[in-house]
Structure formats: C-alpha cells, structure tokens
C-alpha cells in the first residue's frame, strides 16, 4: 500500500509519513538543499512506471495510445533515463523512435547517456551515441560526465567507447577530479591504462593538490603507480584513441542486475591483506503504534527481523527499540556514545514517521508519543548528526526505509568497488578510514509501507535478502548496488546512498562481515567479536523489546 502524499509544512502542520528520507534533503547531509519542482502528484506517469519495471509490452502499448514520451517524474527523470539506467537497449530504441529527447536532463543535470555509462551497458550507450547524445554533457550540480561515471565504476568497454566517440579525457568535475583520478582512486587498472592511452593528463591536480600518482601511492595501488610513472617518462605522449576492442558483444542483451562482479581468486603467491574489522553494534528502531498519528503496518516487523539477522548472522550486539519514545531513542544514542571506541562499528536502522519542515530545511524523526501540533517530542536531524559526530566509532551507517528522502548530489553517488586482488586492497583501505553514511529507500517520493515478501516493505525485503545472500564481506556501496534495482522494479521509489555531511566522514565505508557457520562467540575468527559482557546494556523501557 502506498503511503499518501506528505503535505509540506507551512502555516498548518503537515501530516507525517514514514520517513527518514529527511536525512538526505536537509542541511546535515548536503550542507544546503533546495526543493526541486515536482508534479502535482508524486505518482510517476504510467509510461515511466512501465519502463522502470522493464515491462516492454506495456511500454509499447502506452506509446501506441499516445503516452507522453517526454513526461517526467518528481525527480525530473524521463522514461528514457530509466531505460538507460536499467541497461535496456530495446526499450531505449523504442523510446527514441517515438521521439524521446536523447539529451534531456533531470533535476540533477544528468542525461540518459550519463545514466547508461553509470550502469555500464555498452549496447545501450552505443544506441544513445548513434542518436547523437552529447558525449561531453556535464551534470549541472556535480560536473560529472559520462566518462567519469564509466571510469569510476570500472566499465572498460564503455570507457573505450566514449573515448572513441570524442569524450574529453581531461574534463574536471566540481572538485577538480578527472576520470583518471577517479579510476585511480578505485583501483581500476585497465581503465587507467585506457585513459592514459587516450591522452589523460598524469600531471593534473584535484582541489586538494593531489596528482593521480599521489593518489595511487596513498591508496597502495603499486601497479597503477607504475603505469603512471611510465606515462610521465614518455612525456605524456598521447596515443591514437582506442576503439572498443574487437569482439565486444553488442547483439546479446546485457544483464541488467546491478550486482557487484564476483571477486576473482587472488593470483598465486598473492598475500591477502589482514583486516581488523572491530566490534559491531546496532540500534534498530521500528515504530508502528503512534498515539497521536496514523499507525504504520510493517515497521516493527521489519525492525525485529533486521535485528535478528544482524545478531545471528553477523555477530552484532543489537539494541532493538519498538514503539520507542524520544527518551528511549536519545537514551540509546547516548549509551552508544558512551561505549563505542575508535575500532567499533555502529548501524542505526530507523523505520517510523518523520516530518519535513521546508522553512527550516530540516527533518525530524517522530517517536510514538510525538504530537502533530507540538515539537517537544520530535528529534531533529541536527540532533542526530551531532550525536553521530560525537561518537568515537570508526564506521557508522544509518539505514532508513522512508518517504521523501530528498535530492542527492550525483557527484556523491556510489562507486562500484573493484574486484579480484584489488578488491582485497580496497576493503583493507576503506576499513581504516572513518565513515558516516546513509542508505535510504527513496528520493523525493512516497515509499511503500508494505509490498515486500513476508509482510516486509519493498525496501526492507531487499535489504534483508542482500544480507542473507552475502557469504563473505559486503561493503555499503555493494549493499546499495544489490538493493537499488529490485526496489526500483517493484515500487515507485529509488534508493539513495551517500555520506552524511558534517558528521566526520573521511572516505571509508561500512563493512558487513558474515560470521562463519561454525563460528561461536568464544572462537577467535576474522569476523567481529561480540561485545564483551562487561559493557552495560540500557535498561529496557516498558513496552519495548531490547537485547
């Protein structure tokens, strides 16, 4: 069941809705956030719904009946953008044949070509280029180009195709990053080589003054550093642009599931980095039974199952709050601040009502005793940000199944982690850096309070499935990749993932480490040990469940 549209706060108080989404479209995530123009209703046009689900027959039927091929959803995205992002070249061609604007921009300034490059589907990209997509178009907010998206995500054939079509190898985004620096940061050796072969400048510096070589040395990518040094020695002589390699498949429909590539086995003799992941705690909150607001259906059940999975499969020490008051939530946050160390990890999962105040550009969590007409029990995002900033934990991830998550700056979007031996180096690197990140179930649109499997919301169902299917190590970026597509295909909402602004994020990421089936809390393993029994647990509030 879709939750009714949230009325934006003005002189009359709005109806709250299930929302942690204000975690995104508020100052504590983006520094500043302006509301984008929206349709009179947040329900996307039928054509966009059909395309986002991959429903080609319905798409064609709607077009035959005269559906507006240029129609946009509440984020300014067209059906062509969804088809490009999903890696659906057949639908892309159908939409273009029916007059879709190949160079349309959404409210972030992204074009269908940038979405296709992000997804990594070569056939879709070539179809757009054939229809005269602007190869060097930049996102207006972030300054990202299609080449940057492809290079940062390690899509070699797409990177080569863009370069062969005239993509500017040395274009810069708002922070001075080039496609080469982005590829170096993520350890994509083959993409780095392709960019160097096409004239990428190794002497370029980003806003922090770092060259690609300085970045490679800092991240420990020795092979990439050697390639960059060789490029410096030959005086940056640019080779002739390289066309996509012979035999690159173009006719076979590409896979559209945006899951991380399986890691290749390490080379013989390669030494896998030893990573100390630290201890894991979770604060899981699910609110259904509001005293002054409309009740929710799945929040408590979702939270309870999430708590059980984190505890049994990943070794988390879990504090579960159901139907929690402000005092309960703030007390749990204060306790976490008191017991967490610099080697610990904290996951906060919230499901419940929230409020967005556009006059302040600030969001609020609403405990079960919150009143619509009085803020005394509301918990502002600023309060939560301050709490996270004060915590000593190395990694903190906030997960929100909620409405109206806000608009993200696309330049902060998730980047696909590397695979193989580089994957081990990547995990070791991000495990050492502090992170403060947020994963939400949607942007500026309502999200479903149900619709998933086993009486879960769509987002909670995808979240649980991703964690259940993981057999080793899963970082936050991979988790987002696994969740995003099934949610988009099964509901009119698009998950978002970014860092939390002004909360102490330093470029790391949250890492889930599955507990081996034979492991017990008393057995030493590479997985996080349970929290020692001498650490006090908050007193369970009346009517709540806490372990």
Residue-level pLDDT, tens digit, the chain, 547 residues: 333 333 233 333 444 444 444 344 333 333 333 333 333 456 889 999 999 888 888 999 999 999 999 999 988 899 999 999 988 888 999 999 999 999 999 988 899 999 999 888 898 999 999 999 999 999 887 889 999 999 988 899 999 999 999 999 999 998 899 999 999 988 899 999 999 989 999 999 988 899 999 988 888 888 999 999 988 887 644 444 445 555 544 433 333 333 333 344 444 444 455 567 889 999 999 999 999 988 988 899 999 999 999 999 999 999 999 999 999 999 999 999 999 998 899 999 998 887 776 666 677 888 999 988 888 898 887 888 888 888 999 999 999 876 544 333 333 344 455 655 566 777 777 777 888 888 887 654 445 555 556 688 888 999 999 999 998 899 998 899 888 888 888 877 778 888 876 777 888 899 999 987 644 444 333 444 443 333 333 333 333 333 3
Record the tokens describing residue 467, joined without a space.
């964690």
Distances from the Cα of 349 to the Cαs of 73, 257, 284, 286, in angstroms? Answer: 28, 25, 5, 8
Q: Helices H, strands E: what count in the chain?
A: 19, 12
Q: What are phi and psi of 425, to 5 degrees?
A: -65, -40
Helical packing angle, 79-86 and 122-130, nearest 10°:
140
pLDDT of residue 428: 79
Q: Which among 541, 339, 312, 511 is positioned nearest to 429, based on CA atoms?
A: 511
Q: Which among 398, 406, 546, 539 is positioned nearest to 479, based on CA atoms?
A: 398
CA 119, 123, 127, 129 torsion-angle sign: positive
Determine contact, residues 445/493, Cβ cutoff 8 Å. Answer: yes
| Alpha-carbon gap, residue 272 to 428, rounded angstroms | 9
| Alpha-carbon gap, residue 286 to 478, rounded angstroms | 25
| Alpha-carbon gap, residue 93 to 89, rounded angstroms | 6
| Alpha-carbon gap, residue 377 to 386, rounded angstroms | 17
| Alpha-carbon gap, residue 247 to 282, rounded angstroms | 48
At the topology level, CATH places domain 36-233 in: 1.25.40
Pairing mode, strands 345-351 and 317-322 = unpaired
| Alpha-carbon gap, residue 354 to 380, rounded angstroms | 10
> CATH for 280-513?
3.40.50.1460
Determine contact, residues 477/530, Cβ cutoff 8 Å. Answer: no
Q: Where in the chain is the domain with CATH 3.40.50.1460?
A: 280-513
Record the tokens describing residue 189, joined without a space.
């050796």
Q: Where in the chain is the domain with CATH 1.25.40.20?
A: 36-233
Angle at 82 between CA 253 and CA 245, to 5 degrees: 40
């Amino acid at each position: 069941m879709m939750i009714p549209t949230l009325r934006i706060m003005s002189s009359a108080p709005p109806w709250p809705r299930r929302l942690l989404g204000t975690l995104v479209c508020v100052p504590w995530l983006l520094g500043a956030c302006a509301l984008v123009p929206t349709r009179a209703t947040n329900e996307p046009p039928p054509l966009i719904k059909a395309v986002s689900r991959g429903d080609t027959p319905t798409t064609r039927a709607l077009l035959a009946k005269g559906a507006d091929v240029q129609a946009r959803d509440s984020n300014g995205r067209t059906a062509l953008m969804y088809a490009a992002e999903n890696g659906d070249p057949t639908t892309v061609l159908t939409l273009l044949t029916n007059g879709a604007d190949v160079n349309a921009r959404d409210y972030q300034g992204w074009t269908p070509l940038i979405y296709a490059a992000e997804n990594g589907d070569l056939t879709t990209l070539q179809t757009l280029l054939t229809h005269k997509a602007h190869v060097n178009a930049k996102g207006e907010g972030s300054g990202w180009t299609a080449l940057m998206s492809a290079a940062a995500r390690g899509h070699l054939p797409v990177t080569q195709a863009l370069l062969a079509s005239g993509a500017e190898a040395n274009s810069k985004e708002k922070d001075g990053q080039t496609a080469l620096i982005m590829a170096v940061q993520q350890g994509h050796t083959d993409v780095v080589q392709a960019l160097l072969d096409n004239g990428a400048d190794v002497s370029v510096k980003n806003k922090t003054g770092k060259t690609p070589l300085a970045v490679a040395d800092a991240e420990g990518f020795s092979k990439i550093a050697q390639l960059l040094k060789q490029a410096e020695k030959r005086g940056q002589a640019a080779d002739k642009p390289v066309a996509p390699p012979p035999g690159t498949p173009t006719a076979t429909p590409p896979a559209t599931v945006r899951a991380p590539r399986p890691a290749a086995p390490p080379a013989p003799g390669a030494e896998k980095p030893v990573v100390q992941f630290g201890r894991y705690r979770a604060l899981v909150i699910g609110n259904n039974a509001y005293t002054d607001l409309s009740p929710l259906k799945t929040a408590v059940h979702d939270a309870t199952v999430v708590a059980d999975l984190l505890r049994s499969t990943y070794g988390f020490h879990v504090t579960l709050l159901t139907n929690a008051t402000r005092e309960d939530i703030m007390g749990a946050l204060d306790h976490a601040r008191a017991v967490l160390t610099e080697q610990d990890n904290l996951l906060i999962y919230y499901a419940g009502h929230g409020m967005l105040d556009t006059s302040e550009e600030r969001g609020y969590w609403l405990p079960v005793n919150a009143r619509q007409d009085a803020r005394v029990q509301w918990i502002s995002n600023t309060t939560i940000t301050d709490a996270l900033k004060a915590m000593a934990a190395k990694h903190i991830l906030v997960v929100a199944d909620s409405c109206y998550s806000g608009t993200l700056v696309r330049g902060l979007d998730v980047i696909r982690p590397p695979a193989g031996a580089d994957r081990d180096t990547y995990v070791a690197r991000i495990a050492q850096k502090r992170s403060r990140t947020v994963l939400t179930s949607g942007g500026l649109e309502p999200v479903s309070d149900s619709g998933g499997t086993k009486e879960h919301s769509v987002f909670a169902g995808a979240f649980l499935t991703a964690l259940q299917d993981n057999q080793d190590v899963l970082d936050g970026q991979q988790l987002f990749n696994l969740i995003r597509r099934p949610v988009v295909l099964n509901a009119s909402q698009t998950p978002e993932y970014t860092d939390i602004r002004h909360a102490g994020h330093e470029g790391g990421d949250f890492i889930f480490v599955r507990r081996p089936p034979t492991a017990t809390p008393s057995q030493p393993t590479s997985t996080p040990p349970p929290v020692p029994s001498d650490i006090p647990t908050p007193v369970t509030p009346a009517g709540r469940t806490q372990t």
